[in-house]
Amino acid sequence: MASLNKSAEVAGKDAGAERQKAMGLLAKASRAELQAAFGALADKPTVQPVRGPETGLVMVRGRIGGGGAPFNLGEATVSRASIRLDDGTVGHGQTLGTDGAKARLAATFDALFQQPARKAEVETLLDAVAARVAKEDAEKARQTAATRVDFFTMVRGED
Partner 1 sequence: MYVAVKGGEAAISNAHRLLADRRRGDRSLPAIGIEQIVAQLGLAVDRVMAEASLYDRALAALAIRQSRGDMIEAIFILRAYRTTLPRFGYSKPVETGAMLIERRVSATYKDLPGGQLLGPTFDYTHRLLDPSLLGDETVEAGLEREEPGEAVMRVSDILADEGLVEDDGSLPDGHVAGDITREPLEFPMARDLRLQALARGDEGFLLALGYSTQRGYARTHPFVGEVRIGEVEVELDMPELGFSVSLGRVQVTECQMIAQFKGSAKNPPQFTRGYGLVFGQSERKAMAMSLVDRALRAEEFGEDIVAPAQDEEFVISHSDNVQATGFVEHLKLPHYVDFQAELDLVRRMRREYEAAQNIDLPEAAE
Footprint of partner 1 (CB under 8 A): 16-17, 19-20, 23-24, 27-28, 54-78, 80, 92, 94-98, 137-149, 151
Tell me the β-bridge partners of 74. 60
Least separation, in Å, of the C-beta of 44 and partner 1?
25
In the bound state with partner 1, the residue whose beta carbon lies nearer, of 16 and 49, is 16
For the chain, how long is the longest CA-to-CA vector? 85
Least separation, in Å, of the C-beta of 139 and partner 1?
7
In the bound state with partner 1, the residue whose beta carbon lies nearer, of 45 and 95, is 95
In the bound state with partner 1, the residue whose beta carbon lies nearer, of 150 and 158, is 150
Least separation, in Å, of the C-beta of 47 and partner 1?
19
Rg of the chain over Cα atoms, rounded to whole angstroms, equals: 22
Least separation, in Å, of the C-beta of 20 and partner 1?
5
What is the Cα–Cα distance from 96 to 86, expressed in whole angstroms? 28
Kindly list the distances between the CA atom of residue 91 and the CA atoms of 36, 43, 65, 80, 110, in Å, as whole numbers in the listed order.
Answer: 19, 17, 37, 11, 5
What is the Cα–Cα distance from 102 to 99, expressed in whole angstroms? 5
In the bound state with partner 1, the residue whose beta carbon lies nearer, of 46 and 72, is 72
In single-letter form, the type of residue at position 28 comes to K
What is the Cα–Cα distance from 43 to 121, expressed in whole angstroms? 11
